Amino acid sequence: MAHAAQVGLQDATSPIMEELITFHDHALMTIFLICFLVLYALFLTLTTKLTNTNISDAQEMETVWTILPAIILVLIALPSLRILYMTDEVNDPSLTIKSIGHQWYWTYEYTDYGGLIFNSYMLPPLFLEPGDLRLLDVDNRVVLPIEAPIRMMITSQDVLHSWAVPTLGLKTDAIPGRLNQTTFTATRPGVYYGQCSEICGANHSFMPIVLELIPLKIFEMGPVFTL
């Protein structure tokens, strides 16, 4: 999860998030180079004495400043499209979880476990225990295995919501009357936090998402849900 004074993105816990961080760094370096080039040109313009003001033909320069931006856009677009298609892939998921957004809590349904359904509410400050995070911990966590493809089916019962867990690279809108899906494969065990990322009303800030990721062998041993 994020910490105080953090500048970069959260550590990746899924292959998709690793790709997103790599693309972020790639695009950021491209922006730095463009900014350096523009600042260098401005510096030369302000400090160089212009002795020839009758230049009317500069076809080579015009060719460069037309083709170079096109090449830069292609270098940014190709990896972006690759990641976009990767996020839409659904490769034979091992487990399907349905998430339903409400004002202002989440309902989860384990469709592969006999329709196990439970609600997940934010813990009020009076119920927090030592080590719990204010405004982020919930009464019922979503327990999932690592190293297994998970499919999330996301919808809403009332207004627009957004199911987002940054460390997994996930952000999918929950729309009433529509069932969206996303997939992920977690690579590390741990507890990971997210929040509703769509303004959905007065208590929009109080819809946390908590995923508890455990090894697949422990998940297969039996019920691990504390409801």
Domains within the chain, CATH numbers bracketed: 15-88 (1.10.287.90), 95-221 (2.60.40.420)
- Tell me, what's the pLDDT at 163? 94
Residue 88 CB: number of other CB atoms within 10 A? 9
The secondary structure element, H or E, covering residue 163 is strand 161-165
- Cα–Cα distances (Å) from 105 to 26, 64, 144, 158, 159, in that order, read 37, 54, 19, 11, 12
| Mean pLDDT calculated for residue range 204-218 | 91
Q: How confident is the model at residue 226 (pLDDT cuts 50, 70, 90)?
A: very low
Segment 38-62, tens digit of pLDDT = 999 888 878 877 666 555 566 787 8
Burial (Cβ within 10 Å: 0-12, 13-18, ≥19) of residue 111: middle
pLDDT above 70 covers what percent of the chain? 93
Higher pLDDT, 44 or 224: 44
Per-residue model confidence as pLDDT tens digits over 141-174: 999 999 889 999 999 998 999 999 999 999 999 9
Write the DSSP string, 113-144. Answer: TTSEEEEE-BPPGGGPPTT--TTT-BSS-EEE
Kindly state the average pLDDT of the residues 107-122.
88
155 forms bridges with which residues in the sheet?
100
